[in-house]
Amino acid sequence: MRKKIIAGNWKMFKDLRETEDLVRGLTSRLTFDLKGNQVIICPPFTSLALASKLIEGKPVELGAQNMHPEDEGAFTGEVSPNMLKSVGCSYVILGHSERRQYFGETNESINKKAKKAIASGLTPIVCVGELLEEREKGITEQVVGTQVRGCLKDVPEAEVERLILAYEPVWAIGTGKTATPQQAQAVHQFIRKTLGQLYNWTVAEKVVIQYGGSVKPENAAELLKQPDIDGALVGGACLKPDSFVAIIQSCL
Ligand code: 13P
Residue pair 129/97 in contact by the 8 Å Cβ criterion: yes
> Are 95 and 104 a contacting pair, CB within 8 Å?
no
Residues 6+ apart with CB under 8 A from 209: 164, 165, 166, 167, 188, 191, 192, 228, 229, 230, 231
pLDDT for the residue numbered 1: 76
pLDDT by residue for the chain (252 residues), tens only, comes to: 799 999 999 999 999 999 999 999 999 999 999 999 999 999 999 999 999 999 999 999 999 999 999 999 999 999 999 999 999 999 999 999 999 999 999 999 999 999 999 999 999 999 999 999 999 999 999 999 999 999 999 999 999 999 999 999 999 998 888 899 999 999 999 999 999 999 999 999 999 999 999 999 999 999 999 999 999 999 999 999 999 999 999 988
Predicted confidence (pLDDT) per residue in 129-142, tens digit: 999 999 999 999 99
The rounded distance, in Å, linking the Cα atoms of 32 and 143 is 39
The pLDDT of residue 143 is: 98
- For residue 236, which atom of ligand 1 is closest to its CA? 3
The residue type at 138: G
- How many structural domains compose the chain? 1
Residue 229's CATH number: 3.20.20.70
CB 215 within 8 A of CB 205: no
- Chain mean pLDDT for the chain: 97
| CA of residue 83 relative to chain centroid, distance | 19
Considering the entire predicted model, what is its pTM? 0.98
Q: Which atom of ligand 1 is nearest to the CA of 237?
A: 2
Instruction: Spot the catalytic one: 61, 98, 134, 168.
Output: 168
From the CA of 173, give the closest atom in ligand 1: 4
Q: What is the DSSP string of 98-109?
A: HHHHHH---HHH
Give the pLDDT confidence score for residue 45 in this predicted structure: 98
What local confidence, expressed as pLDDT, does residue 198 receive? 97
Active site residue 96: yes
pLDDT for residue 147: 98
Closest CA to 24 of 14, 33, 12: 14
Task: Please give the pLDDT value at position 123.
Answer: 98
Taking CA atoms only, the protein residue closest to ligand 1 atom 7 is 235
Which entry of 68, 96, 105, 130 is annotated as an active-site residue? 96
Ligand 1, from 10, 11, 91: best to mutate by most atoms within 8 Å of Cβ?
Answer: 11
68 flagged as catalytic: no
How many angstroms is it from 79 CA to the middle of ligand 1? 23
- For 53-102, the pLDDT digits (tens) are 999 999 999 999 999 999 999 999 999 999 999 999 999 999 999 999 99
Domain limits for position 47: 5-249
